[in-house]
Amino acid sequence: MSRRRFLALSAAALAAGACRSGGLPDFGGTLRVLNWSEYIDTDDGAAPGTVSRFQQATGIPVDYVEEYDGNEEAFETIFEPTLGRGRPTGYDVVVPTYWAVARMLERGWVQQIPLERVPNHVNVEPAYLGMPWDRGARFHMPWQVGITGIAYNPALTGGRQLRAVSELFEPFLRGRVSMVSEMRETVGLVMLTQGADPSRATKATAERALERLESAKADGQIRRFTGDEFVEGLESGELAACLAWSGDIIQLQQERPDIRFVIPAEGGIRWFDSMVIPSRSGGASAAADWMNFVYDPVNAARITAAVQYISPVLGVREELQKAGGASARLAENPILFPDDETRRRLYFWAGLDSQTEDELQDRFSTITG
């Protein structure tokens, strides 16, 4: 038995033991997890992915659904029609972005995590325990963390090394730039170019950033606003530079090492998607077992190796180093494991009140078209 397999089995056994020792009754049904697409390691030949290993370890069948396509859309099509009317969503774990989690919490749509079944809660990176909307992370457990920064193709920038978001507004990139369709990230990054701090965002500073975006879109400086389609844009050469999500670019770099990703000189936007148990889910105990399982550093390291986003789980770097090979190289990646100096340049978007955020979102949607 290899060391990795031994560790994985030990972790699975521990996780299973923890499942049995909890105060909640065991869940007899199928655990339903709703997540973003391509956001977990999958079965690869003889090597089972996280879902299969969880099923083996706990005996709990899992229906893992990769249909979470966006936060606004999820609110409109899933959460409001169900949770908003006091009905269950049909899922036991959902993975919205942090600001959407805050909004769900505000509306009472999230259950408290049964911590007695999640001994691996001790592995939550401290930075994610201090969210003002859930201090101590009693209602959420981060899934993956990303940085929104600049990606570019040096061959298409004339060899110029891009360093700052303000450069994306320069004429030499006219019509060859895209920005992400997540309002808080794009607006936050533009705010940084204007000397405003997104972690202390106000309606006025956000509106100033929106004005800049509006005029850049009207002038043709910005070609379009995208989800992860910036990957194809960079690959095809349609885009010379864009705002991009760190994990997607690190994955792209395996095939296109020439594509660069930088945390802008002004600062980058940090975000995370987080696991929550929606209200009225009957499978809270199984959901807790799932959270415990994916917070085992051995399992979390496998997910990191596959999705290449920053892990919020303590101990992942050490596990990647132990694994050796490509995983060990990931352990040295400064985007996956930013040092203290880099962390100081990363900002979370400040939560504004729901009405203001809705107004900003409406205006942003008008600009993005």
Q: Is 244 helix (H, G, I), strand (E, B) or coil?
A: strand
Q: Which of 1, 340, 355, 369 binds other proteins (CB under 8 A)?
A: 340
Q: Which of 61, 136, 175, 237 binds other proteins (CB under 8 A)?
A: 136
Q: Which of 40, 118, 177, 262 binds other proteins (CB under 8 A)?
A: 118
Counts for the chain of helices (H) and strands (E), in that order: 15, 12
Structure tokens at 315: 């101990």
Indicate whether 121 belongs to the interface with other proteins (CB under 8 A): yes
Question: Which is closer to other proteins, CB of 70 or CB of 119?
Answer: 119
Question: Which is closer to other proteins, CB of 112 or CB of 215?
Answer: 112
Indicate whether 119 belongs to the interface with other proteins (CB under 8 A): yes
Residues 86-115 that bind other proteins (CB under 8 A): 114-115
Q: Which of 29, 59, 130, 175 binds other proteins (CB under 8 A)?
A: 130
Structure tokens at 206: 């956000």
Pairing of the two strands 260-262 and 141-152 = antiparallel
Question: Which is closer to other proteins, CB of 21 or CB of 366?
Answer: 21
Q: Which of 42, 111, 157, 199 binds other proteins (CB under 8 A)?
A: 199
Q: Which of 45, 126, 195, 369 binds other proteins (CB under 8 A)?
A: 126
Indicate whether 21 belongs to the interface with other proteins (CB under 8 A): yes
Question: Which is closer to other proteins, CB of 233 or CB of 338?
Answer: 338
Indicate whether 208 belongs to the interface with other proteins (CB under 8 A): no
Other C-beta atoms lying within 10 Å of the C-beta of residue 153: 20
Q: To the nearest whole angstrom, how small is the minimum distance from the Cβ of residue 176 to other proteins? A: 32
Query: Which residues contact residue 154 at a Cβ distance below 8 angstroms, ignoring those fewer than 6 apart?
Result: 160, 161, 258, 260
Secondary structure of the chain: what % helix, strand, coil (to 5)? 45, 15, 35
Residue type for position 75: F
Kindly determine how many residues on this chain lie close enough to bind other proteins according to the rule CB under 8 A.
28
Instruction: Report the alpha-carbon distance of residue 94 to residue 115 in Å, rounded.
Output: 17
Indicate whether 63 belongs to the interface with other proteins (CB under 8 A): no
Question: Which is closer to other proteins, CB of 129 or CB of 306?
Answer: 129
Indicate whether 26 belongs to the interface with other proteins (CB under 8 A): no
Q: Is 277 helix (H, G, I), strand (E, B) or coil?
A: strand
Q: To the nearest whole angstrom, how small is the minimum distance from the Cβ of residue 85 to other proteins? A: 26
Indicate whether 132 belongs to the interface with other proteins (CB under 8 A): yes
Residue with tokens 């987080």: 274
Residue span binding other proteins (CB under 8 A) among the ranges 80-88, 127-135, 201-209, 244-252: 127-135
124 closest CA partner among 114, 136, 116, 132: 136
Indicate whether 25 belongs to the interface with other proteins (CB under 8 A): no
Q: 156 vs 2, 222, 228, 233, 282, CA distance in Å?
A: 46, 16, 20, 12, 53
Q: To the nearest whole angstrom, how small is the minimum distance from the Cβ of residue 273 to other proteins? A: 19
Alpha carbon dihedral 232, 235, 239, 241, in 10-degree steps, equals: 110
Structure tokens at 144: 């993956």
Other C-beta atoms lying within 10 Å of the C-beta of residue 27: 20
Interface with other proteins by CB under 8 A: which residues? 21-23, 114-116, 118-119, 121-122, 125-127, 129-130, 132, 135-138, 197, 199-200, 340-341, 343-344, 347
